[in-house]
Amino acid sequence: MQKTEASTLPVMESFFTIQGEGFHQGTAAHFIRLGGCDVGCHWCDVKESWSIRPEWEQDIESIVSHVDHRAEIVVITGGEPLMHQLDELTTALRAKGFKTHIETSGAHPLSGEWDWICLSPKKFKKPLDAIYGQADELKCIVYNKSDFAFAEGEAARVNQTCVLSLQPEWEVKEKVMPLMSNYVLDHPKWRLTLQTHKYIGVP
């Protein structure tokens, strides 16, 4: 799919909350969730973000104007945000003094200027080669034992300063958590991250 025009983007939702996952877990952040995804994780808890609806289209000025003034960090997520051209959006956000973060599968070319790139690769639509060296954080979802081997393969491709995170898939967290705890103890280069926003009841 071709990237949309930079002048407008399909914003499914925009909200100020607590970052629940990864290295910046627990920090205040404004999230902009863009519609559109061709990766299609079966465990995705926001499947309604896979489509792109005409009524979601907003111009860049409007998108930025809705960012909560208390936020220091703006996280662009999806869907798969890199289906869209993000240069204009990140330029506008940075001009307002916001730090720009992205959460992506890496399956589309990188656009935009970023203070933090969280790469969450998927087996069924692997990241493009170019993004590995630019990732600040590698976040791998653990659904079953085979995901540890996948995570190690992906970790071998990122740079040495990249933060390595393992996150249990929410629906099987009780089953995989003991495996993950033991894995992190045996492989301390990895961090264990949880979807803490679901525990504390925020978006």
3-state SS track over 32-65: EEECCCCCCCCCCCCHHHHCCCHHHEEEHHHHHH
Domain that holds residue 135: 8-200
* Tally of CB atoms within 10 A around 178: 9
- 3 belongs to a structural domain: no
The amino acid that residue 22 corresponds to is G
Would you state the pLDDT for residue 166? Answer: 98
Tell whether 108 is covered by a domain.
yes
In a domain, 131, yes or no: yes
Q: What is the token pair recorded at 142?
A: 């653990």
Q: What is the pLDDT of residue 6?
A: 57
Conformation bin of residue 201: beta by default, left when phi > 0, alpha when psi is -120 to 50: left
Cis, peptide link before residue 79, omega less than 30° from 0: yes
Per-residue pLDDT of the chain (203 residues; tens, 9 = 90+): 444 445 899 999 999 999 999 999 999 999 999 999 888 776 676 777 778 888 999 999 999 999 999 999 999 999 899 999 999 999 999 999 999 999 999 999 999 999 999 999 998 899 999 999 999 999 999 999 999 999 999 999 999 999 999 999 988 889 999 999 999 999 999 999 998 877 777 78
For residue 171, the model assigns a pLDDT of 87
User: Does residue 132 belong to any structural domain of this protein?
Assistant: yes
The answer to whether residue 17 is domain-embedded is yes
pTM recorded for the entire structure: 0.92
**CATH number for position 104:** 3.20.20.70
Question: Do the domain assignments include residue 149?
Answer: yes
C-alpha neighbours within 13 Å on the C-beta side of residue 200: 13
Residue 39 inside a domain? The answer is yes
Quick check: is 109 in a domain?
yes
Q: What is the number of structural domains in the chain? A: 1
